[in-house]
Amino acid sequence: MTANIARGSLPSTARKPWGRFSSLSPSWVFALPALLVYAAVVLYPSLAGMVYAFTDWSGIGEDKSFVGLANLTAMLHDEQAMGSIGNTLLLTVTIVAVQNGVGLLLALGVHVKLRSRAVLRVVFFAPVVVSPVMVAFLWKYIYNPDPAAGLNGLLGTHIDWLGDPSLALWSIAGTVVWQYAGYSMVIFLAGLEGIPPELHEAAMIDGAGTWQRFRYVTWPLLAPSLTINLMLSTIGGLKLFDQVFAATNGGPGYATETLSTVLYKQAFVFGKFGYSTAIALVLALFVAAVSMVQLYYLRNREVAQ
Amino acid sequence: MTDLREARMSRAQFFRMMGGLAAAAAATAACSTKPQTTTAQGQQTATQLKFVGVADQKAAMDQLVAAYKQVKPGVSLTTTFAPTDQVQTSVRTQLGAGNAPDLHVVYPGDGSAMSMSQIAKAGLLADLSDQAWTQTIPTGFKPAFQNDGKTYMYSAGSSVIGAVYNTKAFQKAGIDAPPTTWTEFLAVCDKLKKAGITPIALGAQTPWVTQLITYALVPSTVYAKDPTFDDKQRAGQTSFAQSGWRQAMEMYLELQKRGFFNDNPNGTTFEQQTSMVATGKAAMAIQVSAVLPDFRKSATSPSDLSMFPVPGADSADQVWIPAGVVVGLGASAKGKNLAEAKAFIDFLGKQENINLWAKAISAIPLTQDASSTIDPAVQSFLPFTKDRAVPFMDQRWPNAEVQPVHFAVVQELLAGKIKIDDALKKMDEAYAK
């Protein structure tokens, strides 16, 4: 609309408010305060903290010495840390697949013209706004092993949801999906709302059925939403901490230990701050690498609308 | 909708905006630095002391802080309490950053990240040795309070681990007296089970609860036979695998095999365990006496609950009990108001205050006088405290890793995932780190 015209004509007609700074793009000037704050409270502490990954600092006291890569090699021989990587990956893959699958179905469901859809959208999104720790505590009650209580009472089963080492990890994945499926739903819904109805009309005139319209119109145009959803849920899964910590604290045994809970315990329970920082560093690099690869592939499959 | 894109800002407007931002930032910064304690110039303002403690300390501290206000109106103490995990995280971080509270929770002995030895070794705890009460610490308890002969921690007394039991449930099953040998203990459990009552509630989903049954048995299976076990273990002459720890774990699992625990202990929490015993659904729980108030709170009548020592041996005179110093507090060596912080600890060291604190958590007072009271529920432990009691095992462990490994292997044993051999091997490995 007029925005384009205005933007195009601005440099020639506008009184130059920036004087001799006119060669400097205003966007940078505006970003500067934010960048400074970001550098001071995020970048600098993170980089400064990284140094500890190469020391044997206990977290308290002045006593520390440089140990080179010893913490990283120790990690390779640490059964608990390596086991937690397996758990973290299992949790992440499960959460990414199920959360987005459920989120997509919910989005498609509340996108159709239903009288109650506004209410349903709120209901499905509601768990997202609750603190993850609260959700984990609530689910601890729902997962009560007592056959007369909680989920067992509802299903008539006698399952030890959080106490059985082979099941606990999946139970936690269940709470995460329950909480965040609504989040995926909202993002998919925004994608769905952005698809022009003309395309569906044209497809219908061409004789496309419901499935074909989803497959050839909706699904390709949802690509940007999918990119965002997959990335957010992957990052969320890889750094999962709150729900595990509150629900099982890594137990029973080490069955639900994730990289985040292991690094927490190394720092604050065992007093090995240096080693814990090394694990954190590996986790951060891993998350960055996975997100970058994911972003590259997913961006490529996005189509222009 | 286009005006925003076209909007032009004069330089004056821009600077006004930036100025406003700067003022807002300055105001925020000023607010965040306001609560300064005054020591040098401000005689008219009160000295402010900060204390961070664990939730178990709240009942006692609330009363004592109020009492201190009467004694010393010039000092005001602000207290915060949180569960163990959170306190461990926040206080350790503050200690590491050099801005620890004046007074904070300290765990007795060694073996945990917030334990007296670990923090004292880092030079972050003030030496309290010149205070009068430190001269009366019973010899057996000294390792819990002292590092290299200097006292760094205050604690009001000791608590014991034993069976918290529901007297009504025992009556219902026709049991008139608590058992005094392991065989009798098993017989009692059997009787309870036949009466349709879960003999022992176990909330092994809560990590620290997992250790209590082994702790209750090990004094009899290890220390009764060799009171110097800790020293030998430190010297590498013995290990968990070579000692009565094996027998204690076998006894633990025997209770499970005979069906004396509630179903799915690994999925049951401390809170559920508490309510099972308080309501009589289960007859007993092996617990530390410091949580008796929690059990009483959930019971219809507090007198329904009492305690007895868990007999870990087959002759009554071979039964030993675990009695450990309760969680205490220390003063930050680098605090700005160190003298005032130490004065408060000196106040806590007075006999009447030791009595008050001990009473609030059903503990046995550190030192006793005519006005000391001992909870009737722990009376049956008193004959043991003199020469048949050992501190909680972790207080002599060399690092903070053994205890969490103990939690984890107990959960894995209960789940049938590992054998006792593996469990003890893992604990020995953690001990050697």
DSSP string for residues in A279-290: HHHHHHHHHHHH
CB contact under 8 A, B119 and A60: yes
* Mean pLDDT to the nearest integer, B257-267: 93
pLDDT of residue A104: 96
- Name, in order, each residue with C-beta under 8 angstroms of A67's C-beta and a sequence gap of 6 or more: A54, A55, A56, A274
pLDDT of residue A158: 87
Distance between B407 CA and the closest CA of chain A, angstroms: 7
B160-324+379-432 carries CATH number 3.40.50.2000: no
Other CB atoms closer than 10 Å to residue B310's CB: what's the count? 26
Cα B315 to Cα B224: distance, rounded to the nearest angstrom: 11
CB contact at 8 A, B108 and B341: no
CB contact under 8 A, A61 and B121: yes
pLDDT of residue B12: 65
CB contact under 8 A, A158 and B95: no
Task: Single out the residue of B421, B2, B407 nearest to residue B211, CA to CA.
Answer: B407
Beta-ladder partners of B329:
B105, B154
For residue B266, which residues of chain A lie inside 8 Å, CB to CB?
160, 162-165, 251-252
Task: Single out the residue of A245, A220, A230 nearest to residue A302, CA to CA.
Answer: A220
Share of chain B above pLDDT 90, in %: 62
The predicted-structure confidence for B328-361, as pLDDT tens digits, reads as follows 999 999 888 999 999 999 999 999 999 999 998 8
The predicted-structure confidence for B34-75, as pLDDT tens digits, reads as follows 444 444 444 446 789 999 999 889 989 999 999 999 999 999
Cα B162 to Cα B375: distance, rounded to the nearest angstrom: 14
* Mean pLDDT to the nearest integer, B147-153: 94
* Mean pLDDT to the nearest integer, B126-138: 93
The predicted-structure confidence for B269-299, as pLDDT tens digits, reads as follows 999 999 999 999 999 999 999 889 889 988 8
For residue A160, which residues of chain B lie inside 8 Å, CB to CB?
263-264, 266-267
Cα B374 to Cα A213: distance, rounded to the nearest angstrom: 78
Q: Identify how many contiguous H helices and E strands chain A contains and give both numbers.
A: 16, 0
pLDDT in single tens digits along all 305 residues of chain A: 344 444 444 444 445 555 555 555 667 788 889 999 999 999 998 888 888 889 888 888 777 888 888 888 988 888 888 999 999 999 999 999 999 999 999 999 999 888 888 899 999 999 999 999 999 999 998 998 888 888 988 998 888 899 999 999 999 999 999 999 999 999 999 999 999 999 999 999 999 988 999 999 999 999 999 999 999 999 999 989 999 999 998 889 899 999 999 999 888 888 888 999 999 999 999 999 999 999 888 888 776 54
For residue A58, which residues of chain B lie inside 8 Å, CB to CB?
118, 122
* CA-based nearest residue in chain A for residue B22: A33
CATH code, domain carrying A168? 1.10.3720.10
CB contact under 8 A, B124 and A144: no
- pLDDT of B5 above 50: no
CB contact at 8 A, A136 and A55: no
A54 to A8, A74, A81: CA distances (angstroms): 53, 12, 17
For residue B264, which residues of chain A lie inside 8 Å, CB to CB?
145, 160, 163-164
Q: ipTM value, please give it.
A: 0.76
Q: Which residues of A touch B (CB under 8 A)?
A: 1-3, 6-7, 10, 14-15, 17, 19, 33, 58-63, 140, 143-147, 158, 160-165, 248-254, 264-265, 268-271, 273
pLDDT of residue A14: 47
Indicate the residue of A15, A60, A251 with minimum beta-carbon distance to B92: A60
* Mean pLDDT to the nearest integer, B117-146: 91
Other CB atoms closer than 10 Å to residue B238's CB: what's the count? 18
Sheet hosting strand B75-82, strand order edge to edge:
B75-82, B47-54, B103-106, B328-331
Domain residue spans of chain B: 47-156+326-369, 160-324+379-432
Residue type, B336: K
- Catalogue the E-assigned strands of B289-388: 305-308, 321-325, 328-331, 364-365
pLDDT of residue B419: 95
- Which of B4, B11, B116, B205 to probe the A interface (max A CBs under 10 A)? B205
- Name, in order, each residue with C-beta under 8 angstroms of B363's C-beta and a sequence gap of 6 or more: B156, B157, B158, B159, B289, B290, B326, B357
- Which of B21, B206, B264, B403 to probe the A interface (max A CBs under 10 A)? B264
For residue B404, which residues of chain A lie inside 8 Å, CB to CB?
265, 269-270
CB contact at 8 A, B246 and B428: no
CB contact under 8 A, B207 and A249: yes
For residue A60, which residues of chain B lie inside 8 Å, CB to CB?
92, 95-96, 118-119, 122, 124
CB contact at 8 A, A24 and B18: no
The predicted-structure confidence for B295-330, as pLDDT tens digits, reads as follows 998 888 888 899 999 999 999 889 999 998 999 999
Question: Which pair of tokens denotes residue A143?
Answer: 């997962």
Question: Which pair of tokens denotes residue B381?
Answer: 């432990």
For residue B88, which residues of chain A lie inside 8 Å, CB to CB?
268-269
CB contact under 8 A, A251 and B6: no
pLDDT of residue A146: 83
* CA-based nearest residue in chain B for residue A79: B426
CB contact under 8 A, B266 and A160: yes
pLDDT of residue B37: 45
- pLDDT of B162 above 80: yes
- Tally A–B CB contacts below 8 A: 127
Indicate the residue of A15, A140, A252 with minimum beta-carbon distance to B412: A252
Query: Whole domain around residue A150: which residue ranges?
Result: 70-301
Residue A26 belongs to a domain = no
CB contact under 8 A, A144 and B267: yes
Helix H or strand E segment including B76:
strand B75-82
Distance between A166 CA and the closest CA of chain B, angstroms: 10
For residue A254, which residues of chain B lie inside 8 Å, CB to CB?
408, 412
Q: What confidence tier does B23 reach under pLDDT thresholds 50, 70, 90?
A: low
Helical segments of B77-226, H only: 84-97, 116-121, 142-145, 167-172, 182-194, 207-210, 212-218
CB contact at 8 A, B100 and B53: no
- pLDDT of B85 above 90: no
The DSSP call for residue B367 is S
pLDDT of residue A23: 59
**Measured at the alpha carbon of residue A251, what is the angle toward residues A249 and B85, in degrees to the nearest 5?**
25
CB contact under 8 A, A2 and B266: no
pLDDT of residue B40: 45
The domain made up of B47-156+326-369 has a fold known as D-Maltodextrin-Binding Protein; domain 2 (3.40.190)
More confident residue, A196 or B14: A196
Cα B272 to Cα B259: distance, rounded to the nearest angstrom: 18
pLDDT of residue B41: 44
pLDDT of residue B27: 60
CB contact under 8 A, A254 and B408: yes
Distance between B177 CA and the closest CA of chain A, angstroms: 30
Quote the mean pLDDT of chain B.
Answer: 88
Residue A126 belongs to a domain = yes
Task: Single out the residue of B361, B364, B277, B307 nearest to residue B163, CA to CA.
Answer: B307
pLDDT of residue B399: 86
Distance between A67 CA and the closest CA of chain B, angstroms: 17
The number of domains in chain A is: 1
Cα A165 to Cα A167: distance, rounded to the nearest angstrom: 5
Distance between A58 CA and the closest CA of chain B, angstroms: 9
